[in-house]
Amino acid sequence: MPNTPLNNLDSDASSSGKEIIVFDTLTIISLLLLVACLLPAYLGTHIQRCKTWYGLLVSWIIYSLSYTLLLGQQRGPGEHVNGVCIFQASIIYAAPVIGAFGAACYIIEVYLMMSISINPDSESEKATSLWGPTRRKTQILILLPGFLFFLITLETILGLLLNALLAVSSVTWIIQSRKKGNSSHASEFYDTKAIIRSIISTTVALLAALVALALQGILFYRNIKLKSSSILPVSPNHFGPSIFIRMAFFTTMLLFGIAIGIYSFNVKSFPLNWSVLLPAAPVLVALAFGTQKQIVRSWMCHREK
């Protein structure tokens, strides 16, 4: 199993057992909330969202699903198949990347839509191709998170397999570790480079998101000045301050999560009460976007029916 904070515990069994239950519960809750946020927009005709919005939620659903691979396997020695362990590790290391890039790509597309709507020359084809979300730009923003997820997963699998082969004999190695009372987790094939790639990729994505958010802030300020002159090029129904606040909120939480992740992978003992924040990130995403009026009304109307 991957070398996550839940597998490096120095706490007593009763304490770790309770917090593992919290970890697993948050993982399941995050998955349910994200699906509940996605379904009304996907199935309903009255809720319109851009494609990267769907990409954002799908990215975090994949993130949550990656942690479901750990359910029931966080504690104690046991029988673990090498291939399953390596697959778990590769998915876990790639999960933060698809989540971060899904968020960044959504924020970038919102900025592109805002910039073209505020631009006085937005009607011209040249301005649209330069500032607006063209089909090519949108396709790149949609495909990029999944492509990087696949790439890092593949690289991690190859790296872990290579590490296992370099250990003279992976089978002998694992048998010896079991005789010593250790489990055959993928942390024994642990690939430090995979973690470094994941952290760097996630950091790059969030830096891009922060730049896009800063540019959005400038556009909001510019729009306020335009409103004072009775010029309203931006519809508040689509680009009101609430969407900016939502994106800024969960981006800040993701930055906090990266800091926790970097710390957890660089210490031998990690306080488990902090590790439960790992599955909390998608919960924050679901709450940030699932509490929008149209989605809440959709569920309320469905309940009344």
Q: Are 101 and 145 in contact (CB under 8 A)?
A: yes
Contact indicator for 40, 289 with CB cutoff of 8 Å: no
pLDDT of residue 143: 93
How far apart CA 194 and CA 112 sit, in angstroms, is: 32
Q: What is the pLDDT of residue 29?
A: 92
Q: Report the pLDDT value the prediction gives residue 11, as an integer from 0 to 100.
A: 43
Which positions of the chain have pLDDT values less than 50?
5-6, 8-15, 168-190, 230-237, 268
In this prediction, residue 229 carries a pLDDT of 59
Q: Rounded to two decimals, what is the model's pTM? A: 0.75
pLDDT at 232: 46
Q: Which domains does the chain possess? A: 5-296 (1.20.1070.10)
Confirm if 67 and 27 have CB atoms less than 8 A apart: yes
Q: In this predicted structure, what is the pLDDT of residue 140? A: 92
The answer to whether 138 and 53 are in contact (CB under 8 A) is no
pLDDT at residue 142, rounded to an integer: 93
> In 3D, which of 237, 162, 240, 147 has the Cα closest to residue 201?
147
149, 102 Cβ separation under 8 angstroms: no
Distance CA 86, CA 84 (A): 5
